[in-house]
C-alpha cells in the first residue's frame, strides 16, 4: 500500500523512509472481526519534495492531500521556542 508517494501527480517510489514524511491514520475495517478489531492503522508516505508543500488529512472514509498553510523553504527547520528551552 505504501510503496510510492501519495501525491498522484508524483508517485515517486519509496526507497528510504528517512526521506519525506510518513502519516498514520486509523481506518475502519470494512468488516468487523477481520483481525479482531474494528479498525487498523494505515501508513501513507509523502516524498521529501511533496512533504514540503503538502500534508495528509483524514476525510470521512478516505485520506486526501492537503496543501500546507505555511511553506517552509528549508525542510522543517524550526528553532525551539523559549518555553522549550526553559524546561
**Binding residue for Zn ion (CB under 5 A) from 14, 16, 33, 50?**
50
Q: Which stretch binds Zn ion (CB under 5 A): 33-41, 48-56, 59-67, 68-76?
A: 48-56
**CA 10: distance to chain centroid?**
15
Shorter beta-carbon distance to Zn ion: residue 5 or 56:
5
Q: Which of 76, 78, 68, 80 has the alpha carbon at shortest distance from 19?
A: 76
Using CB under 5 A as the binding rule, whether residue 7 contacts Zn ion is answered as yes
The C-alpha atoms of residue 59 and residue 27 are separated, in whole angstroms, by: 11
Using CB under 5 A as the binding rule, whether residue 47 contacts Zn ion is answered as yes
Q: Which of 65, 6, 61 has the alpha carbon at shortest distance from 39?
A: 61
Q: Which stretch binds Zn ion (CB under 5 A): 10-18, 28-36, 59-67, 68-76?
A: 10-18
The C-alpha atoms of residue 5 and residue 22 are separated, in whole angstroms, by: 10
Q: Which stretch binds Zn ion (CB under 5 A): 28-36, 39-47, 60-68, 73-81?
A: 39-47
Amino acid at each position: 500500500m505504501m510503496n510510492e508517494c501519495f501525491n498522484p501527480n508524483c508517485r515517486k517510489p519509496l526507497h528510504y523512509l528517512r526521506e519525506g514524511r510518513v502519516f498514520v491514520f486509523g481506518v475502519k475495517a470494512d468488516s468487523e472481526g477481520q483481525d479482531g478489531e474494528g479498525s487498523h492503522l494505515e501508513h501513507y508516505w509523502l516524498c521529501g519534495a511533496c512533504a514540503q508543500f503538502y500534508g495528509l488529512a483524514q476525510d470521512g472514509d478516505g485520506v486526501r492531500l492537503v496543501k500546507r498553510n505555511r511553506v517552509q523553504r528549508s525542510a522543517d527547520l524550526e528553532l525551539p521556542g523559549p518555553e522549550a528551552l526553559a524546561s
